[in-house]
Amino acid sequence: MAYTAKGTSFDRDMNYIPDRITREPGLSQDKHDDQELTVRTWPAEPGRYRLVAAAACPWANRAIIVRRLLGLEDVISLGLAGPTHDERSWTFDLDPGGVDPVLGYERLQQAYLARYPDYPRGITVPAVVDVASKEVVTNDFPWITHDLFFEWRDHHRPDAPDLWPDAVRDEMDEVMQRIFTELNNGVYRCGFAGSQEAYDAAYDRLWTTMDWLEERLADRRYLMGDAITEADVRLFTTLARFDAVYHGHFKCNRNKLAEMPVLWAYARDLFQTPGFGETIDFDQIKRHYYVVHRDINPTQIVPKGPDPSVWLTPHGRG
């Protein structure tokens, strides 16, 4: 994920390639970074695209989970980059010869440069790549999972969950916005704070929302009620990394997730739900954060714990 620093506080760069994949392709006018932009929309054609993600990255992990929940494995192929990368790009070092078998690329950067030879921003995952041209289509991660649900409905498995239920849509948008600003992004705000004052403010904001979530989930199984929604996916990928990375590496250490009875049970409930836990690779997650973030962890030593088997213990939220 790309980010910029404003003074001593963390500020994420949210400027992404705004193209989308839709049922009815063409051109549309979208509001992007307070400017009206002409956005190209691409056709939702099975077999045309490759989702490039990384098990280490929480933002990419969302797309991996949603693709599985909706049954799109045979519709959109998946390429996985390794957990570590340099300043240029994520790499396909998990594949034989270090080359993605579909795209023929060693680096995700190649797909970006194939479309934008002077691409000025960070090379991020998830990214959707057009297989025929080998060019990146979009890396706008919130829209990727949104469109997997709304624009690929003709190809969902018959019993796919309703991740964006109409009855709670307005409230869900508010919940997801708070989760993004205060938790998904909040852990980074703590980890990359450039002053004690910035860190203290970020820490307080983070734990205010963690306590709010503990209270909210005390009387409901999932964030929006009795069924899993996109909001749960977005929260889960941060919770899954909390004790292994954010608690120590990002100094989010008031307490561990495992010490919050409701949130910890909720996180294990999701982890043990098909589509969630099998997308989590704790070794890759730890290698990514502790090796790539040399400014925070200059020794690049990767901790051995915590024991991942605790995620399989009974959660009691049936």
Boundary of a domain, candidates 155, 174, 207: 155
Evaluate whether residue 273 is within a structural domain: yes
Confidence of residue 27 (pLDDT cuts 50, 70, 90): low
Cβ-in-10-Å burial (0-12, 13-18, 19+) of 212 comes to: middle
Report the pLDDT value the prediction gives residue 55, as an integer from 0 to 100. Answer: 98
Report the pLDDT value the prediction gives residue 8, as an integer from 0 to 100. Answer: 77
pLDDT in tens, 41-69: 999 999 999 999 999 999 999 999 999 99
Same domain for 95 and 130, yes or no, is: yes
Evaluate whether residue 161 is within a structural domain: no
Q: Is 207 annotated as a binding residue?
A: no
**Would you call 316 helix, strand, or coil by DSSP?**
coil
Q: What is the mean pLDDT of the chain?
A: 94
Evaluate whether residue 89 is within a structural domain: yes
Same domain for 12 and 112, yes or no, is: yes
Look at strands 9-12 and 35-43 and give their pairing.
unpaired
In whole angstroms, what is the distance from residue 81 CA to residue 84 CA?
A: 8
Q: What is the maximal distance between C-alpha atoms in the chain?
A: 52
Say whether pLDDT at 126 is over 60: yes
Evaluate whether residue 317 is within a structural domain: no
Same domain for 49 and 138, yes or no, is: yes
Same domain for 151 and 232, yes or no, is: no
Task: Assign residue 27 the CATH number of its domain.
Answer: 3.40.30.10
In whole angstroms, what is the distance from residue 106 CA to residue 95 CA?
A: 9
Number of domains in the chain: 2
Boundary of a domain, candidates 120, 155, 190: 155
Boundary of a domain, candidates 99, 125, 155: 155
Same domain for 304 and 221, yes or no, is: yes
> Which residue would you say has higher pLDDT here, 32 or 277?
277
Same domain for 295 and 264, yes or no, is: yes
**Lowest-pLDDT range of 20-24, 111-115, 220-224, 286-290:** 20-24
Same domain for 143 and 219, yes or no, is: no
Report the pLDDT value the prediction gives residue 4, as an integer from 0 to 100. Answer: 47
Domain of residue 108: give its range: 3-155
Evaluate whether residue 87 is within a structural domain: yes
Same domain for 120 and 208, yes or no, is: no
Same domain for 143 and 30, yes or no, is: yes
Confidence of residue 87 (pLDDT cuts 50, 70, 90): confident
Evaluate whether residue 209 is within a structural domain: yes
pLDDT in tens, 227-242: 999 999 999 999 999 9
Say whether pLDDT at 6 is over 60: no
Task: Assign residue 268 the CATH number of its domain.
Answer: 1.20.1050.10
Residue of 16, 49, 188, 199 marked catalytic? 188
Report the pLDDT value the prediction gives residue 2, as an integer from 0 to 100. Answer: 45
Same domain for 175 and 288, yes or no, is: yes
Report the pLDDT value the prediction gives residue 70, as an integer from 0 to 100. Answer: 98
Same domain for 10 and 93, yes or no, is: yes
Report the pLDDT value the prediction gives residue 1, as an integer from 0 to 100. Answer: 45
Report the pLDDT value the prediction gives residue 302, as an integer from 0 to 100. Answer: 98
pTM, whole model, 2 decimals? 0.94
Give the H/E segment covering residue 275: none
Residue of 57, 112, 222, 246 marked catalytic? 57
**Lowest-pLDDT range of 5-14, 118-127, 248-257, 306-315:** 5-14
**Lowest-pLDDT range of 20-29, 266-275, 303-312:** 20-29
- Percent of the chain's residues with pLDDT above 70: 94
Same domain for 294 and 179, yes or no, is: yes
Task: Decide if 188 is catalytic.
Answer: yes
Say whether pLDDT at 35 is over 90: no
Look at strands 26-32 and 20-22 and give their pairing.
unpaired
Evaluate whether residue 318 is within a structural domain: no
